[in-house]
């Protein structure tokens, strides 16, 4: 069933958005909990997890409803008891237009302070900015990071933190 869910969602929610570094919504089976130790016993319980990164253009409730429909179809055809449980749900807020005042000011501050021309992209995961945008607050983010996010021994470089702080502090001076 996990393969069917994966294929169905990937096909139905297949729009691309070039603003995002990952241009597609992704639906990945990521974890299966262990059930029985031996190979000759059919487990009485099977638990699988999916990580779904859904582009903001799609309503998360629609995706969940579609998964629920596939689960119900398999439950009916197999006479098994199946449940769908959301472990974590963080809907995406609206994207910030690249021409918005905050995006333009932040881009200008990055150029003035660092000498770099920023590339405006959408981030297909949670940032604190998403929480603000969901509450209607125009928001853009900037960060100079070491390329080790979510890895063992993840770290920040203090020089980058200071530069990013100066960049944000410069924004009011550019208005």
Token pair 């063992």: residue: 152
Q: Does the reported pTM lie above 0.75?
A: no
In sequence order, the β-bridge partners of residue 52 are 27
pLDDT of residue 138: 92
pLDDT tens digits, one per residue of 144-158: 988 887 788 999 999
For residue 18, the SS3 value is coil
Q: Distance between CA 52 and CA 35 in Å, rounded?
A: 24
pLDDT of residue 43: 87
> Domains in the chain, ordered, with CATH?
2-78 (no CATH), 101-174 (1.10.150)
Q: Please, which residues have CB within 8 angstroms of residue 148's CB and are 6 or more apart in sequence?
A: 154, 155
- Confidence at 32, pLDDT banded by 50, 70, 90: confident
- Confidence at 3, pLDDT banded by 50, 70, 90: confident
pLDDT of residue 122: 82
* Residue 142, CB-side half-sphere exposure with 13 Å CA sphere: 29
pLDDT over 70 for what percent of the chain? 99
Q: Distance between CA 100 and CA 24 in Å, rounded?
A: 24
Mean pLDDT, rounded, for 21-42: 89
pLDDT tens digits, one per residue of 92-146: 888 888 999 999 999 999 999 999 999 888 876 678 888 898 899 999 989 898 8
pLDDT of residue 121: 86
Would the pLDDT of 171 be above 90?
yes
Average of per-residue pLDDT values in the chain: 90
């Amino acid at each position: 069933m996990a393969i069917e869910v994966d294929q169905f969602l990937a096909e139905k929610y297949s729009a691309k958005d070039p603003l995002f570094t990952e241009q597609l919504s992704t639906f990945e089976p990521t974890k299966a909990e262990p059930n029985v130790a031996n190979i000759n016993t059919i487990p009485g319980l099977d638990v699988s997890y999916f990580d779904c990164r859904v582009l903001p253009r799609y309503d998360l409730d629609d995706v969940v409803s579609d998964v629920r429909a596939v689960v119900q179809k398999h439950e009916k055809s197999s006479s098994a008891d199946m449940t769908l449980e959301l472990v974590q749900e963080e809907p995406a807020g609206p994207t910030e237009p690249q021409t918005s005042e905050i995006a333009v000011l932040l881009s200008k501050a990055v150029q003035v302070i660092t000498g770099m021309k920023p590339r405006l992209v959408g981030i297909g995961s949670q940032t604190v900015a998403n929480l603000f945008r969901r509450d209607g607050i125009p928001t853009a983010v900037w960060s100079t990071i070491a390329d080790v996010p979510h890895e063992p021994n993840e770290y920040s470089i203090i020089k980058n933190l200071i530069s990013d702080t100066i960049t944000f502090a410069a924004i009011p001076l550019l208005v």
